[in-house]
């Protein structure tokens, strides 16, 4: 009886083992099937679907080496370098002696900004090839980029040794230039880069880093010099030119941006984006005739472009030509569906025109028409607030302004009007805080600066305004009008 039971048990175990082997083979077959599918999709460039098939393969076999490697490679090709680094590192654990794989991990890690990982991978590679100059250069590069004090210190010692030997690789001097930038010796960095040009990307990369440092130092003439040098030495000029123009416009350096943009529009006359940038620059410089000519020419090429027509209306508002602004806006309103968002935009512009021209009842009517269609429209709510402020600054107006600010916390103009409302109520501390916040968001806000000047000079606190004026003048160095207004306010209170 016992012998029969043992035979039955053995037979059962044998059947189970066959089932397990069979299931394992099925899993391997399914994993291989999905891997093959992923590989085909990868080869056709369909990376999203290839990743899905890789995941399916790994569901059946989580340790499937080929699928792990392929997944890391797909992520690398797709530019998802951080994830690629992690997956390729898994493959390195399986194939620690695969040099090409470690180089791929190193490259992915650098592109992902994971320089510590790159340093570790390069040290492993250098154990096999201690004299490999390319690996040694990459190690120094990654050490500096890691910003790890210990690793940077090692790189500094090695770079100083090489420079002392008059090393002939210009990339070493680019690394020395980056170290100079890190210790804020921009003159030294500039000298090194001027003397040791190389077509290798590290030169242009370090030049851009140097330019960014001059931006932080508010030396935009140097920024232009560096970009001109970069542009001269590259075949792909337009991306750098565009980047330079954006830097100058974003930092409100309109005076020096103008010749840069005029030169670019001459080189690329059919580039509408450049025309609009030049228009923006000229509008800021109050060169209204040229600005109007450019926007009119642009509209003639794209007559149905709503944004361009809107910019033209805004130009007329800025130059206080309210008759032209009104006519242009009224003409546009006839062509726009009343239910469209563009209709509300132009209605709000009409309210602006009426407000600036002193027709407050018409401005209020336009704002109320917008709010009938969209009760939460920020522009219309703001317009009603500043219209009501012409007669009084009630608690309700201040409450509404604060609510709009909560919804739009980075709007300098809103804080300026909140300051005006508090000033009307003689709440001078609250007004000061609002004006300061307006200047913090936009140091070029002329109206907020003048309002602060009135407030501080009235209190005799002349020195309190000086740092704010200095920041304003960094952005608007040629604004003599504002200087004269502030000087007149100061004289008024000093004579009292």
DSSP string, 21-78: HHHHHHHHHHHHHHHHHHHHHHHTT-HHHHHHHHHHHHHH-TT-HHHHHHHHHHHHHT
Q: Report the pLDDT value the prediction gives residue 335, as an integer from 0 to 100.
A: 87
What is the C-alpha separation between 414 and 425, in angstroms, rounded?
17
Asked if 346 and 416 sit in the same domain, the reply is: no
What is the C-alpha separation between 110 and 147, in angstroms, rounded?
13
DSSP category for residue 477: T
What is the C-alpha separation between 398 and 395, in angstroms, rounded?
5
Assigned domain for 191 exists = no
Contact 447, 486 (CB under 8 A): no
Q: Report the pLDDT value the prediction gives residue 27, as an integer from 0 to 100.
A: 75
Cα→Cα distances 179→21, 119, 157, 205, 209, Å:
60, 17, 12, 13, 11
What is the C-alpha separation between 53 and 72, in angstroms, rounded?
13
User: Tokens 């006519």 identify what position?
Assistant: 327
Mean per-residue pLDDT, 290-310: 94
Asked if 479 and 404 sit in the same domain, the reply is: yes
Assigned domain for 151 exists = no
Asked if 489 and 402 sit in the same domain, the reply is: yes
Residues across the chain: 496
Assigned domain for 69 exists = no
Asked if 452 and 359 sit in the same domain, the reply is: no
Assigned domain for 80 exists = no
Domain count, the chain: 2
Asked if 383 and 398 sit in the same domain, the reply is: no
State pLDDT tens for residues 388-437: 999 888 999 999 999 999 999 999 999 999 999 999 999 999 999 999 99
Contact 312, 295 (CB under 8 A): yes
Contact 442, 412 (CB under 8 A): yes
Q: How confident is the model at residue 31 (pLDDT cuts 50, 70, 90)?
A: confident
What is the C-alpha separation between 106 and 128, in angstroms, rounded?
16
User: Tokens 């990743």 identify what position?
Assistant: 51
State pLDDT tens for residues 173-198: 999 999 999 999 999 999 999 999 99
Asked if 376 and 416 sit in the same domain, the reply is: no
> Residue 280's CB: how many other CB atoms inside 10 A?
19
What does residue 161 show for φ and ψ, rounded to 5 degrees? -65, -45
What is the C-alpha separation between 216 and 213, in angstroms, rounded?
5
Q: Report the pLDDT value the prediction gives residue 316, as an integer from 0 to 100.
A: 96
Asked if 406 and 418 sit in the same domain, the reply is: yes
Assigned domain for 320 exists = yes
Segments in 98-182 forming alpha helices (H): 99-111, 115-128, 133-146, 149-164, 170-182
Asked if 352 and 426 sit in the same domain, the reply is: no
Q: Report the pLDDT value the prediction gives residue 152, as an integer from 0 to 100.
A: 96
What is the percent of the chain where pLDDT is above 70?
Answer: 95
What is the C-alpha separation between 495 and 439, in angstroms, rounded?
28
What is the percent of the chain where pLDDT is above 90?
Answer: 78
- Give the CATH number, domain containing residue 334: 1.25.40.10
Mean per-residue pLDDT, 373-394: 93
Domain boundary among 371, 388, 405: 388
Domain boundary among 388, 416, 449: 388
Asked if 371 and 396 sit in the same domain, the reply is: no
Q: Per the confidence metrics, is the pTM higher than 0.85?
A: no
Asked if 346 and 373 sit in the same domain, the reply is: yes
Q: How confident is the model at residue 338 (pLDDT cuts 50, 70, 90)?
A: confident
Asked if 355 and 400 sit in the same domain, the reply is: no
Please give the residue range of the domain that contains residue 452: 392-496
User: Tokens 């003159």 identify what position?
Assistant: 187
pLDDT of 15 > 80? The answer is no
pLDDT of 444 > 80? The answer is yes
What is the C-alpha separation between 360 and 366, in angstroms, rounded?
10
What does residue 368 show for φ and ψ, rounded to 5 degrees? -65, -35
Assigned domain for 124 exists = no
What is the C-alpha separation between 64 and 62, in angstroms, rounded?
6
Mean per-residue pLDDT, 447-473: 89
- Helix, strand, or coil (residue 359): coil
Q: Report the pLDDT value the prediction gives residue 13, as an integer from 0 to 100.
A: 46
What is the C-alpha separation between 374 and 350, in angstroms, rounded?
16
Assigned domain for 161 exists = no
Q: Which of 355, 349, 297 is nearest to 328 (CA)?
A: 349
Assigned domain for 341 exists = yes
Asked if 335 and 416 sit in the same domain, the reply is: no
Domain boundary among 336, 354, 388: 388
pLDDT of 19 > 50? The answer is no
How high is the mean pLDDT of the chain?
Answer: 91
Contact 264, 279 (CB under 8 A): no
Contact 356, 349 (CB under 8 A): no
Contact 432, 404 (CB under 8 A): no
- Encoding tokens for residue 392? 């009084």
What is the C-alpha separation between 256 and 249, in angstroms, rounded?
9
What is the C-alpha separation between 94 and 89, in angstroms, rounded?
9
Q: Which of 162, 179, 252 is nearest to 443 (CA)?
A: 252
Give the best-scoring range by mean pLDDT among 90-94, 263-267, 339-343: 263-267
What is the C-alpha separation between 283 and 314, in angstroms, rounded?
10
């Amino acid at each position: 009886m016992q012998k029969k039971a043992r035979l039955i048990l053995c037979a059962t175990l044998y059947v189970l083992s066959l089932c397990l082997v069979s299931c394992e083979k099925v899993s391997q077959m399914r994993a291989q099937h999905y891997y093959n599918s992923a590989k085909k999709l990868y080869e056709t460039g369909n990376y999203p679907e290839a990743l899905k098939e890789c995941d399916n393969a790994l569901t059946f076999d989580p340790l499937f080496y080929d699928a792990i490697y392929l997944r890391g490679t797909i992520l690398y090709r797709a530019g998802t370098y951080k994830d690629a680094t992690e997956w390729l590192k898994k493959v390195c654990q399986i194939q620690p002696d695969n040099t090409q794989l470690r180089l791929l991990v190193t490259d992915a890690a650098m592109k992902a900004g994971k320089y510590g990982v790159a340093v570790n991978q390069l040290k492993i590679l250098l154990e096999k090839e201690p004299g490999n100059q390319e690996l040694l250069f990459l190690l120094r590069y990654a050490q500096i980029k890691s910003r790890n004090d210990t690793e940077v210190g090692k790189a500094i010692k090695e770079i100083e040794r090489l420079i002392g030997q008059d090393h002939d690789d210009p990339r070493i001097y680019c690394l020395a230039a980056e170290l100079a930038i890190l210790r804020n010796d921009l003159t030294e960095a500039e000298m090194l880069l001027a003397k040791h040009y190389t077509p290798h990307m590290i030169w242009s990369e370090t030049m851009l880093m140097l330019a960014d440092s001059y931006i932080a130092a508010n030396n935009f003439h140097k920024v232009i010099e560096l970009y001109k040098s970069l542009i001269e030495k590259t075949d792909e000029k337009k991306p750098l030119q565009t980047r330079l123009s954006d830097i100058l416009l974003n930092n409100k350096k309109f005076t020096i941006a103008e010749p840069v943009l005029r030169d670019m529009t001459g080189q690329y006359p059919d580039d509408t984006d450049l025309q609009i940038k030049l228009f923006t620059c000229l509008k800021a410089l109050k060169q209204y005739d040229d600005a109007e000519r450019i926007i009119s020419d642009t509209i003639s090429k794209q007559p149905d472009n709503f944004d361009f027509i809107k910019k033209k209306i805004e130009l007329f508002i800025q130059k206080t030509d309210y008759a032209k602004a009104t006519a242009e806006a009224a003409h546009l309103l006839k062509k726009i569906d009343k239910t469209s968002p563009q209709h509300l935009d132009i209605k709000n512009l009409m309210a602006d025109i009426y407000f600036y021209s002193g027709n407050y009842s018409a401005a209020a009517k336009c704002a109320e028409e917008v709010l009938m269609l969209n009760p939460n429209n920020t522009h219309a709510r703001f317009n009603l607030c500043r219209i009501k402020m012409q007669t009084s600054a009630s608690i309700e107006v201040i409450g509404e302004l604060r609510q709009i600010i909560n919804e739009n916390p980075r709007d300098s103009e809103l804080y300026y009007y909140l300051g005006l409302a508090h000033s009307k109520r003689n709440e001078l501390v609250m007004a000061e805080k609002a004006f300061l916040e307006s200047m913090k968001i936009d140091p070029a806000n002329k109206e907020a600066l003048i309002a602060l000047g009135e407030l501080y000079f009235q209190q005799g606190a002349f020195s309190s305004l000086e740092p704010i004026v200095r920041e304003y003048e960094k952005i608007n160095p040629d604004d003599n009008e504002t200087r004269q207004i502030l000087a007149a306010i100061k004289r008024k209170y000093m004579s009292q």
